[in-house]
Structure 1
Amino acid sequence: MSEQPTSIYGGQAVIEGVMFAGKHVHVTAVRRKDQQITFFEVPKKPQNFLRKIKKIPFIRGIVGIVESAAKGSQHLTYSAEAYAEDEPESGEAKQAKKEKEKWNLTMILGVALVGVLSFVVGKLIFTLVPTFLETLIFGHTFENKIVHNLLEGVIKIILLLCYLWFISQTPIIKRLFQYHGAEHKVISAFEAGSELTVEKVQKFSRLHYRCGSSFIIFTVIVGVIIYSFFDWNTLGERIIQRILLLPVVLGVSFEVLKWTNALRDIPVLKWLGAPGLWLQLLTTKEPNDDQVAVSIASFNRMRELDQQVSPS
């Protein structure tokens, strides 16, 4: 067993790889077609202003989401380009190139919606569409706004589950979800003080309390509660209200996620994080040993570079 860790790390699954964010650097490891593992390393630039803001409760969550989206897109692009380079060309080179570019664009957009970028774009979509549908279906059925909010939340969850299930049927997303599971296993193993070998890491759960998937489901639950404090009369007012309250919902949801993670070792209170873990049954898949090896390589490289900047 290694010494008990004191640092909290996060990561992101990318195409055929995993990205981990350290204190001083972001590192992505990708498995290439020749089975070699290549790395993409991006040092963090000191930003004192952002560092101070990220200490403010409720605001730090929004700042973190925007920052993660910017960083995540860099690493997602790298993995997509590496994937494209490894794809063999067909006989008609020109046509193949066009098709490949079209496929890569579709692939990147699809992955982005279920990755960190979904917090910016996907959350807005999954906020406004359910609002419109609930008003369309139940708008004139009754007056109780709290019930309307609850039904809106139910529609959001149904749409989210259907969307995740649908995209998980595609091979590329299924493998992405396997790397997502590998990322969680490595973090859990590290937090437990376990040695980071494929055999030992595989024994840990692919589910983790501090996950973006958990954050998504918490935004639905928190949104239902926050919306209940505000009144609306028309669909237009309701939509504008949802847009204006979105930063509040995101900020509070981030704090709830941190809270449930802090309470996960308390027998009764650990069930507060259960909804997020249930959603991860869709957004993660059991990884194979090669995928876990990539995740370990990414994590170890990130830790190595962090140690070079600030040795303990």
Structure 2
Amino acid sequence: MDLKKIFLKDACPTKVGGQAVLEGIMMKGEDRTAVAVRLPNKDIHIKTEKLKEPAKWMKIPIIRGVGVFVGSLVTGTRTLMYSAEVLEGYDGPDAVEYEEDKLSLWLEKKFGEKGAWNIMLYASVVIALLLTVGIFIILPTAAVNWLGHFTSSEVLLNLIEGVLRIILFVLYILLISKMQDIQTVFRYHGAEHKCIHCFENGLELTPENCQQFYTLHPRCGTSFLMFVMVISLILFSLLGWPSLVWRILSRLLLIPVIAGLSYELLRWAGRSDNLAVKILSLPGLYLQKLTTAEPEKQHLEVAIAAMKAVMVSPDTPCYEGVCDKDGKLIQEEKHEEEPSMEEKKEQKEKDADSKCL
């Protein structure tokens, strides 16, 4: 691994980030997000949305990391569900027939399409959180509990628990990487990183320019997860080795603190290239070798289309439609005009009048 190709000296770090989804990529810019999905006919479906103005407390160090962590879970799940919806809704000549499950049909009948969507979204987030906590927080500390009969070293017990947690996480990544759909997602993940590297180095966004960069990036969410593992190992070691119940409770209560610290460390790693940052970033970068794969031209084209869709002037209206491989809109499905100040004022007065009535 050549760190000089990851912590690029002449690069200009940005806040642009992304996420690989089913057959596509979500890019997040300064004021909007764009989800680009490759359709079976090779066109690219793109949807852009304005970002909400962040709350004031989102500027407070540590605390903002908790908000970003929770927000990323919700946004990530929503984006994955949206990409699946786009592929299911495609009705072209190469369309694949998808049969809606009975639960989805029942929810839509009971709560409507939008209500069913929200229920499935937040249920997915809750289930993901419960599984994550159960497998990567509770299981390791419970599994190591019996070792207390063989050693009284609190440092050793906490170290074994932390190492076991990291091993479980790596095994999980290795296991899902065997799935063909996940391998495709990893290619899009690599394309996302290459595209961001290309943009941060001031080069024209072309597949050829993007391809020269590494699939590894210091601001990747995978590195964030590795920071979480390492910081949790350090913090939990400071708590000693109390009873199993107190260990589980303490680990659950410290999740926000760990998420906040990990986020600040990731931000620092993304805008600095000193030796300390490189050393701290190594575990996450090695983990990225498992979650990214070398993309092909078709994957890079999707990443570039998503990047171009978010790197526009703030007054550019959002849209949803089908684009060609160069990201040029060829069929618009929805168009969202940002309301003017006068329109916002009128709507506010109408809402106030309706409340009075």
TM-score, structure 1 as length reference: 0.83
* Counterparts of 1:257 and 1:64, CA distance in 2: 12
Matched to 2:83, the amino acid is: S
Higher mean alpha-carbon deviation, 78-87 vs 290-299, is at: 78-87
Q: Which residue of 1 aligns with 2:64?
A: 60
Specify which of 253, 267, 275 is matched with residue 258 of structure 1.
267
Q: How does 1:121-270 map to 2 (within 5 A)?
A: 121=130, 123-125=132-134, 126-136=136-146, 138-264=147-273, 266-267=274-275, 269-270=277-278
Matched to 1:206, the amino acid is: T
1:166-190 deviation per Cα after TM superposition (whole angstroms, max 9, x unaligned): 1110111110111111111111111
**Quick check: 1:40–1:78 contact (8 Å CA) kept in 2?**
no
Task: Give SS of 2:48's match.
Answer: strand
Matched to 2:292, the amino acid is: T
**Quick check: 2:218–2:285 contact (8 Å CA) kept in 1?**
yes
**Quick check: 1:73–1:117 contact (8 Å CA) kept in 2?**
no
Q: Which residue of 2 aligns with 1:286?
A: 294
**Quick check: 2:217–2:285 contact (8 Å CA) kept in 1?**
yes
Matched to 2:139, the amino acid is: V
- Measure how far apart 1:97 and its partner are: 4.7
Task: Give SS of 1:28's match.
Answer: strand
Distance 1:17 1:117, change over 3 A: farther
Aligned residues: 286
Higher mean alpha-carbon deviation, 216-225 vs 62-71, is at: 62-71
Q: Which is higher, the Rg of structure 1 or of structure 2?
A: 2
Higher mean alpha-carbon deviation, 72-81 vs 291-300, is at: 72-81
Q: Which runs of 4+ in 1 moved over 4 A?
A: 3-6, 96-99, 116-123
Higher mean alpha-carbon deviation, 125-134 vs 239-248, is at: 125-134
**Quick check: 1:135–1:235 contact (8 Å CA) kept in 2?**
yes
Matched, 1:273 2:281: yes
Higher mean alpha-carbon deviation, 141-150 vs 38-47, is at: 38-47
1:127-179 deviation per Cα after TM superposition (whole angstroms, max 9, x unaligned): 1111111114x232111111111101111111111111111101111101111
**Quick check: 1:72–1:117 contact (8 Å CA) kept in 2?**
no
- Measure how far apart 1:268 and its partner are: 6.0
- Measure how far apart 1:227 and its partner are: 1.1
Matched, 1:9 2:16: yes
Matched to 1:185, the amino acid is: K
Matched, 1:76 2:80: yes
* Counterparts of 1:205 and 1:129, CA distance in 2: 35
Task: Give SS of 2:165's match.
Answer: helix
Q: Which residue of 1 aligns with 2:309?
A: 301
Distance 1:36 1:121, change over 3 A: farther
* Counterparts of 1:6 and 1:216, CA distance in 2: 21
Matched to 1:131, the amino acid is: T
* Counterparts of 1:194 and 1:15, CA distance in 2: 27
* Counterparts of 1:281 and 1:188, CA distance in 2: 16
Distance 1:260 1:7, change over 3 A: closer
Matched to 1:89, the amino acid is: E
* Counterparts of 1:214 and 1:179, CA distance in 2: 17
**Quick check: 1:213–1:280 contact (8 Å CA) kept in 2?**
yes
TM-score, structure 2 as length reference: 0.73
Distance 1:141 1:305, change over 3 A: farther
Higher mean alpha-carbon deviation, 127-136 vs 237-246, is at: 127-136
Specify which of 25, 32, 35 is matched with residue 28 of structure 1.
35
**Quick check: 2:48–2:309 contact (8 Å CA) kept in 1?**
no
Distance 1:157 1:4, change over 3 A: closer
